[in-house]
Amino acid sequence: MKEKIASREAEIAVVGLGYIGLPTAIMFANAGFNVTGYEIREDVVKKLSNGSSHIVEPEIDELLKTVLQEGTLRVTSTPEDIKNKDVYIICVQTPLNQDKTPNLQYLKSAVKTVAKVMKRGSLIVIESTIPPLTTVKMGELIEKERGFKAGRDFYLVHAPERVMPGRIFKELVYNSRIFGGINEESAELAELLYRSFVKGQVFKTNSTTSEMVKLMENTFRDVNIALANEFAFLAHQYRVDIFKAIELANTHPRVRIHMPGIGVGGHCLPKDPYLLLSFAREDLGLIKKAREINEDMPLLAKDLLVEALKTINLPLEEAIIAVLGLAYKGNSDDIRNSPSYEFIEHIKDDVKEVRSYDPYVGGTHEKLEEAVTGADAIIIATDHEEFKSLDWESIGKVMRSRVLIDGRHIIEKPPKGFLFKGIGRGEY
- List active site positions: 214, 268
Positive or negative: CA dihedral 284, 285, 286, 287: positive
Encode 32-61: b = buried (16+ Cβ within 10 Å), e = exposed.
ebbbbbbbbeeebbeebeeeebbbbbeebe
Q: Is 204 helix (H, G, I), strand (E, B) or coil?
A: strand
Q: What is the distance between the alpha carbons of residues 209 and 20, in angstroms, rounded to a whole number?
A: 21
For residue 384, give every residue at least 6 positions away whose Cβ sits within 8 Å of its Cβ, in sequence order, or none: 324, 325, 327, 330, 331, 358, 359, 360
> Cα angle vertex 218, ends 161, 193, to 5°?
15
- Say if CB 183 and CB 153 are below 8 A apart: no
What SS3 class is residue 202? strand
3-state helix, strand, coil in the chain (%, to 5): 45, 15, 40
Which of 293, 295, 298, 290 lies closest to 219 in space, CA to CA?
Answer: 290
Round to whole Å and give the CA distance between 123 and 118.
9
Entry field: residues in the chain: 428
Report DSSP letters for 145-176, one per residue: HH-PPBTTTBEEEE------TTSHHHHHHHS-
> In the sheet where 73-76 sits, what is the strand order?
73-76, 34-38, 11-15, 87-90, 123-126, 155-158, 177-181, 202-206
Residue 389: other Cβ atoms inside 10 A: 7
> What backbone phi and psi angles, to 5 degrees, belong to 220?
-55, -50
242 CA to centre of own chain? 26
Q: How far apart are CA 241 and CA 415, in angstroms?
A: 17
Kindly give the pairing relationship between strand 87-90 and strand 34-38. unpaired
Which of 52, 56, 55, 77 minimizes the C-alpha distance to 64? 52
